[in-house]
Structure 1
Amino acid sequence: MIKEFRDFIAKGNVMDMAVGIIIGAAFTAIVTSMVDDLINPILSMVTGNTDFSSNYIVLKGVAPDGASLTAAKDAGATVWAYGSFITAVLNFLIIAFVVFLLVKGVNRIKEAAVKKQVADGSAAGPSQEALLAEIRDLLAARPRV
């Protein structure tokens, strides 16, 4: 069982997945910082420092007039925090757009590398003659029935 587990861990797919998770965590920090530190302040200037996250409607109970969402919840009021939802949706759209731009950039770099390989001839596979010779050799090596 230990040998089987060791073989499983040693497979390339598991290692690739582990690297992907680690890179994904680091990438999340970069995207979050970009949104929080670069994009949201600009949006805040454009919208006049509007913060939707504090908008709510009291469904049950009483909240002090002009109380923040946290204060309303602390007062025991049941609130419909639609502002937090709007903020989450806006953050998602911003993050999704930033990820789209980054993936688009990476794909452009990959395409340029592939075009360079094709131009250099390094991306070419085996010739047709080499493939036919390999097929011939495999057919000759198989047992006859």
Structure 2
Amino acid sequence: MPQLPPDTDDETTDPRSHLSDFAADARRRASSFWDSFSNFALRDNVLEVAVGLMYALSPPMSYPFLRPHPPPPRFPLPCSPKLTPPSPSFATSFTTLTTSFVSDILLPLLSLLPFISHSLPDVFLILRRGTLYSQHKIPRYNTIKQGLDDGAVLWAYGSFLDAVLRFVLVALTLFLIAKGYEWVSKDKVVKRQVKCRYCRKYISEKARRCVNCTSWLDGREDK
């Protein structure tokens, strides 16, 4: 008895089902990526990264409680070993490398987009005109410094947007480096966190007891 040909209306051969599966998989991957990135950048890790970057990028004298040691003598003292300056630390070099990657590689590429200008920090709005601008002695303010020197009140929102963009790019760069380290070393760096059902503070996903309220998470607290 001859066999009937396979049904062409099967759901597995429907292109719409493949598109639906592809869209669902893309949403799942995007949700997983955002969940991992938020656990890395929007929780305790961002505080560590921000403090490290601010300390490494700011001059030492900007911190009054962190006075640098006095410089060594220009010529070594008699019967003393030759004094050599200390080599830069790995953390400072890593911070410089990350900042250079964001400023010199990523930002120039993003400046090609129509809604992002290369001179984003120089974008501002005039809230109150200065003396020369009010008297029509100058046609406009070309820079923020020119407006401030004229006594104008400016809304320099471009600097804030530039700082936000740099922060997101630095966090994303560090996150990708951490994920690459995880892939190479098989060691978990970006650890997922969940909220404790009792104190609603973030704890490790694998925690059996909350480190904040010391509540057990296996259900014994509800008995």
TM range (shorter): 0.5 to 0.7
Matched pairs, number: 92
CA contact 2:141–2:147 (8 Å) conserved in 1: no
Residue 56, structure 1, aligned to residue 56, structure 2 = no
Compute the TM-score of the two structures, normalised by the length of structure 2.
0.37
**Sequence identity (%):** 30
1:68 is matched with which residue: 143, 160, 168? 143
Residue in 2 aligned with 1:23? 90
Residue in 1 aligned with 2:186? 111
Q: Which runs of 4+ in 1 moved over 4 A?
A: none
Compute the TM-score of the two structures, normalised by the length of structure 1.
0.55
Whole-angstrom distance in 1 between the partners of 2:102 and 2:166: 8
CA contact 2:99–2:170 (8 Å) conserved in 1: yes
Task: Specify every segment of 5 or more residues in structure 2 that has no aligned partner in the other structure, as ranges.
Answer: 1-87, 188-223
Residue 77, structure 1, aligned to residue 77, structure 2 = no
Q: CA deviation at 1:49?
A: 6.7
Whole-angstrom distance in 2 between the partners of 1:83 and 1:48: 12
Whole-angstrom distance in 2 between the partners of 1:37 and 1:101: 18
Whole-angstrom distance in 2 between the partners of 1:76 and 1:67: 14
Q: Report Cα offsets for 1:98-142 as digits up to 9, x if no partner.
A: 110011111222217xxxxxxxxxxxxxxxxxxxxxxxxxxxxxx
Q: Report Cα offsets for 1:60-87 as digits up to 9, x if no partner.
A: 4425514211211222222221111011
Which range is displaced more, 74-83 or 98-107? 74-83
Letter in 2 for 1:87: D
Whole-angstrom distance in 2 between the partners of 1:96 and 1:83: 20
Whole-angstrom distance in 2 between the partners of 1:46 and 1:95: 19
Task: Specify every segment of 5 or more residues in structure 1 that has no aligned partner in the other structure, as ranges.
Answer: 1-20, 113-145
Q: Secondary structure at the match of 1:45?
A: coil
Letter in 2 for 1:22: S
Letter in 2 for 1:80: W
- RMSD after superposition: 2.3
